[in-house]
Amino acid sequence: MRHFVFLAITSIAAATTVCAQPPGAQNSGDIRIEAGQECPAGTTEIRPRICRAPQTPAPSILDYRPRSTLVTAEHLVPKAKFPAIDYHGHPQDLIFSAEGLAQLKTALDALNVRMMISADDLSGAQLLKALDAIKASPMKDRVRVLAGIDFSNVGPGWAEKAVKQLDADIAAGAVGVGELPKFLGLRYKKPDGSRLRIDDRDLDPVWDEAAKLGIPVFIHTADPEQFFEPIDLSNERWLELSLFPGRRYPQDQFPSFDELIKERDNLFKRHPKTTFVTAHMGWQANDLGKLGKLLDENPNVYTEVGAVLYDIGRQPRAAHDFFVKYQDRIMFGKDSFQPEEYPYYWRVFETRDEYFDYYRHYHAFWKLYGIDLPDNVLKKVYYQNALNITKRIPRAGWQ
Ligand SMILES: [Zn+2]
């Protein structure tokens, strides 16, 4: 015991000595800052209000790849614990041919994804072609398709045509609408050159028709908030915005993130009888309070988790509580079809694992944690909620 006390005292004394000395006594390059100031670029705070530059050239953020020395339990989850519906599928060409569907089957079987919902905006002849290939394949009960809406020339006469096409697509076998692309709000224009707003009144008859048909509308609005912010060294997505400059939405050319979210929420509020599914957790997984408020205020709104696992997995306790509280409103979806990425979702949802990597470093330079959902919540997120709101999915075989 005495030995430990002695050690503790010496280390406190050592720390005090360093802090008490003027920075110049430590290293002539040290820089003193005022409380609340940030260290200048190229330096870091080594003691309170003392900044220092590294003595060797700093690597770029691309090359700094520290290997974690943390040794802790690992539970890889190659297959979902319960059969899943991927509500945000982009199988693209795979559902147009027997070979493609066979390839899809092999991949989904290995993951325990029992059904994929194609959210590739198919309509008319393309939709029929996909539906024919699906019907003729062993995947006939395992793939369903959402119908797309053509947003060109929105104005007088547009809605009648769009409603007619939607009716035809649903009669042919589509089970809902989507994925309404982010271009709605960001890029689509009306014939007079003005921006087509998400809550444009000319679109209303289509959402009313969806309510009448009893089908859900799957909608992607905006993009991560950081894409709308300046690309500077405080932007969490600096690397992504630099790798993919087309993802930037400069404020002089695009509406703001908040403006788009407001238009989306207007749309949801104005059509309480229409079921909407906001993709990517509405890009609000980094602010679960806001997303919770949206769900509280709009019982017709559901959400889906595609491509935001990095935000769920960095707040395991808040995310766990959110998923438990809104267990009837959240659905699994993956977005881009990369079979090797699904197991990261299973691991976050099903385990208590700690401090593991996300699958794309440019999305998340931080680590993920499992949120350890109970079985009844997992079942709802994996398939029950999707079945509940999507009446045209075949019922047989689900528990
Ligand atoms: Zn998508």
Instruction: Give the C-alpha separation, 139 to 128, whole Å.
Output: 16
Residues whose CB is under 5 A from ligand 1 (ion)? 179, 335
Q: How far is ligand 1, taken at its centre, from the CA of residue 310, in Å?
A: 17
| DSSP codes joined into one string, 298-347 | -TTEEEE-TT-HHHHTT-HHHHHHHHHHTTTTEE---EE--GGGHHHHHH
Q: How far is ligand 1, taken at its centre, from the CA of residue 335, in Å?
A: 5
The residue written with tokens 């989904």 in the block is: 108
Residues of the chain with pLDDT under 70: 1-26, 399
Distances in Å between the alpha carbon of 201 and those of 96, 185, 266, 273?
35, 13, 11, 16
Q: How far is ligand 1, taken at its centre, from the CA of residue 87, in Å?
A: 10
Distances in Å between the alpha carbon of 389 and those of 27, 56, 130, 162, 331?
64, 58, 23, 22, 10
Instruction: Give the C-alpha separation, 392 to 399, whole Å.
Output: 17
Q: How far is ligand 1, taken at its centre, from the CA of residue 88, in Å?
A: 6
Distances in Å between the alpha carbon of 87 and those of 77, 303, 348, 360?
20, 10, 18, 21
Q: How far is ligand 1, taken at its centre, from the CA of residue 124, in Å?
A: 20
Predicted pLDDT of residue 26: 62
Nearest to 146 by CA among 118, 104, 108: 118
Q: How far is ligand 1, taken at its centre, from the CA of residue 293, in Å?
A: 24
- Encode pLDDT of 17-47 as tens digits: 344 454 444 688 899 999 999 999 999 999 9
- Encode pLDDT of 41-66 as tens digits: 999 999 999 999 999 999 999 999 99
Residue type, 320: H
Q: Domains in the chain, please, with CATH?
A: 84-389 (3.20.20.140)
Q: How far is ligand 1, taken at its centre, from the CA of residue 85, in Å?
A: 15
The residue written with tokens 């267990």 in the block is: 327
Q: How far is ligand 1, taken at its centre, from the CA of residue 119, in Å?
A: 6
DSSP designation for 228:
G
Q: How far is ligand 1, taken at its centre, from the CA of residue 178, in Å?
A: 9
β-sheet with 176-180: strand ranges across:
330-331, 301-304, 276-278, 217-219, 176-180, 143-147, 113-122, 84-90, 335-336
Nearest to 261 by CA among 280, 246, 234: 280
Q: How far is ligand 1, taken at its centre, from the CA of residue 272, in Å?
A: 24
Q: How far is ligand 1, taken at its centre, from the CA of residue 334, in Å?
A: 8
Q: How far is ligand 1, taken at its centre, from the CA of residue 348, in Å?
A: 21
Are 285 and 333 within 8 A, CB to CB?
A: no
Q: How far is ligand 1, taken at its centre, from the CA of residue 349, in Å?
A: 20
Q: Is 189 helix (H, G, I), strand (E, B) or coil?
A: strand
- How much is the pTM? 0.92
Q: How far is ligand 1, taken at its centre, from the CA of residue 281, in Å?
A: 12
Q: How far is ligand 1, taken at its centre, from the CA of residue 17, in Å?
A: 57
Predicted pLDDT of residue 27: 80
Predicted pLDDT of residue 18: 41
> Judging by beta carbons within 10 Å of its beta carbon (0-12, 13-18, 19+), is residue 110 exposed, middle or buried?
middle
